[in-house]
């Protein structure tokens, strides 16, 4: 039976099974599944993190293909997990339902918008935290909570029967405590791809510069040096201007798409949003044709540059975020400035539609962080197999966790 989940922290679950039972036996039988409250499940309301959305939309008659495939493969549906409103945030805060506690880094943000799925996974309430990633909503909470997480290639996993944010960039993703579970879920949801060769994988190291300092720290390099299956083929230096331009391009195209998707509903129902979400939506509503056209014209330039990094290279490696999760009491100005820097990193996969896997291999300022490995579009399953080879067990037991200060 599915019931509103009031007997535990509403900031993590919106709905939860009182006694989950399998509907099928399969390759992931027994793995517990938490589903971000954007995915439709037949007979269960979809709240999208906002009470006005919940009140103004009918209970779905359909189930998301991604959810159904996992259930058919034997996953146990534990419940639906909370999200930032309409998934339009990377912080993990929700003014209506609260902020899930980041138990891996007390006093810091859990990251969003797949915040409920991330925290439920980190707390061992679920084994697979299903979510979405448009501008970083899997990668960021995976980083902040010390989890493995994949943002898939655009279009490779169906987004049908799901509340969209910006359809041109929306992807399905998931988070797990182990690379093995991440790979097992991938074998259910992803098409087969040619695996990477057993020879050392050629890596292009992305050295992102912010405020005159490289985010590729000594700890990042130390971790890479300890991986015999990876070899640094070359380094790519990304100046701050390039990162800021990529962020602006992505945010503008995303914002226009968000308003085209949700503007009519917002104008009709006048929903109540948290201040940061409302500010972002007001900005999206006022993106003009000139700004949009400029972003469209520069998109191909960014895509071309990103594609060039793969010449004679198998994968990219870069820090997932600019640093540890921001503090819960950070000012709105601090968070907005951090968001712009953060999206310079997440925009790389977003603009080019690439798969990206977060690796929880570092600590920064006493909190989880890590690196991301990025593959060519469509190489998702091969990328997960590679990550599984790198991490046959918990990375915390097998890899250096020295502090990095970005």
pLDDT tens, residue by residue, 13-67: 999 987 788 888 999 999 999 999 999 999 999 999 999 999 999 999 999 999 9
Tell me which residue has tokens 């859990």: 110
Structure tokens at 6: 């009031």
Nearest to 351 by CA among 192, 226, 166, 176: 166
pLDDT single digits (tens) 89-113: 999 999 999 999 999 999 999 999 9
Structure tokens at 357: 């896997």
Q: Which of 36, 117, 372, 379 is catalytic?
A: 36
DSSP state of 211: T
pLDDT in tens, the chain (406 residues): 344 444 457 899 999 987 788 888 999 999 999 999 999 999 999 999 999 999 999 999 999 999 999 999 999 999 999 999 999 999 999 999 999 999 999 999 999 999 999 999 999 999 999 999 999 999 999 999 999 999 999 999 999 999 999 999 999 999 999 999 999 999 999 999 888 988 899 999 999 999 999 999 999 999 999 999 999 999 999 999 999 999 999 999 999 999 999 999 999 999 999 999 999 999 999 999 999 999 999 999 999 999 999 999 999 999 999 999 999 999 999 998 899 899 999 999 999 999 999 999 999 999 999 999 999 999 999 999 999 999 998 654 433 333 332 2
Query: How far is residue 184's CA from residue 234's CA, in Å, rounded to a whole number?
Result: 31
Query: How far is residue 188's CA from residue 22's CA, in Å, rounded to a whole number?
Result: 16
Alpha carbon separation from 130 to 32, 52, 120 (Å, rounded):
11, 23, 10
Nearest to 358 by CA among 121, 126, 143, 190: 143
| Residue 300: active-site member | no
Q: Say what the pLDDT of residue 5 is.
A: 42
Q: Say what the pLDDT of residue 280 is.
A: 97
The total number of residues shown for the chain amounts to: 406
Q: Which residues pair with 327 in a beta bridge?
A: 108
DSSP state of 366: T
What are the φ and ψ backbone dihedral angles of 112, each rounded to 5 degrees? -140, -175
Q: Which of 137, 153, 219, 372 is catalytic?
A: 137
| Residue 393: active-site member | no
Structure tokens at 310: 């793969």
Query: How far is residue 302's CA from residue 352's CA, in Å, rounded to a whole number?
Result: 8
Query: How far is residue 185's CA from residue 267's CA, in Å, rounded to a whole number?
Result: 39
Q: Say what the pLDDT of residue 193 is.
A: 86
Query: How far is residue 103's CA from residue 225's CA, in Å, rounded to a whole number?
Result: 30
Compute the half-sphere exposure of residue 178: CA atoms within 13 Å on the CB side of its CA.
12
Nearest to 10 by CA among 104, 77, 101, 135: 101
Structure tokens at 45: 């309301």
Fold topology of 2-398: Amidase signature (AS) enzymes (3.90.1300)
Calculate the CA dihedral of residues 158, 298, 261, 163 and round it to 10 degrees. 30
Structural contact between residues 353 and 130, judged by C-beta atoms closer than 8 angstroms: no
| Residue 213: active-site member | no
Q: Which of 11, 14, 89, 113 is catalytic?
A: 113
Q: Say what the pLDDT of residue 20 is.
A: 84
List the domain boundaries for the chain. 2-398
Q: Say what the pLDDT of residue 400 is.
A: 35
Intra-chain end-to-end CA distance of the chain, in Å: 46
> Which uninterrupted H or E stretch holds 112?
none
Structural contact between residues 184 and 27, judged by C-beta atoms closer than 8 angstroms: yes
């Amino acid at each position: 039976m599915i019931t509103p989940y009031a007997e535990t922290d509403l900031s993590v679950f919106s709905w939860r099974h009182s006694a989950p039972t399998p509907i099928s036996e399969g390759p992931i039988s027994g793995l517990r599944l938490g589903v971000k409250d954007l995915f439709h499940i037949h007979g269960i309301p979809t709240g999208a993190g906002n009470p006005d959305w919940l009140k103004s939309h009918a209970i779905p008659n359909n189930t998301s293909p991604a959810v159904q495939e996992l259930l058919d493969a034997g996953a146990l549906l534990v419940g639906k997990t909370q999200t930032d409103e309409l998934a339009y945030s990377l912080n993990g805060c929700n003014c209506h339902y609260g902020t899930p506690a980041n138990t891996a880094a007390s006093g810091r943000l859990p990251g969003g918008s797949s915040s409920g799925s991330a925290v439920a996974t980190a707390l061992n309430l679920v084994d697979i935290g299903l979510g979405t990633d448009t501008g970083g909503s899997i990668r960021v909470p995976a980083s902040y909570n010390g989890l493995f997480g994949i943002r898939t290639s655009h279009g490779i996993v169906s987004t049908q029967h799901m509340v969209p944010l910006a359809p041109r960039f929306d992807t399905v993703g998931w988070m797990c405590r182990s690379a093995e579970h991440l790979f097992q879920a991938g074998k259910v949801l992803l098409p087969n791809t040619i695996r990477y060769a057993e020879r050392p994988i050629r890596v292009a190291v992305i050295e992102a510069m912010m405020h005159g300092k490289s985010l590729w720290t000594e700890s990042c390099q130390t971790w890479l040096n300890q991986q015999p299956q990876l070899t640094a083929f070359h380094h790519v230096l990304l100046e701050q201007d390039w990162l800021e331009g990529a962020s602006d391009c992505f945010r503008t195209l995303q914002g226009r798409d968000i308003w085209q998707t949700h503007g009519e509903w917002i104008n009709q129902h006048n929903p109540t949003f948290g201040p940061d979400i409302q500010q972002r939506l007001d900005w999206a509503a006022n993106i003009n044709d000139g700004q949009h056209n400029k972003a469209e014209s520069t998109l191909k330039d960014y895509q071309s540059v990103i594609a060039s990094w793969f010449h004679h290279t198998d994968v990219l490696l870069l820090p997932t975020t600019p640093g540890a999760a921001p503090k819960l009491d950070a000012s709105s100005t601090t968070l907005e400035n951090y968001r712009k820097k953060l999206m310079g990193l997440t925009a790389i996969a977003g603009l080019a539609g690439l798969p990206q896997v977060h690796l929880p291999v570092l600590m920064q300022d006493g909190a989880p962080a890590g690196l991301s490995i990025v593959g060519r579009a469509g190489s998702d399953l091969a990328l997960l197999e590679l990550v599984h080879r790198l991490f046959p067990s918990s990375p915390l037991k097998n890899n250096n966790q020295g502090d990095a200060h970005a």
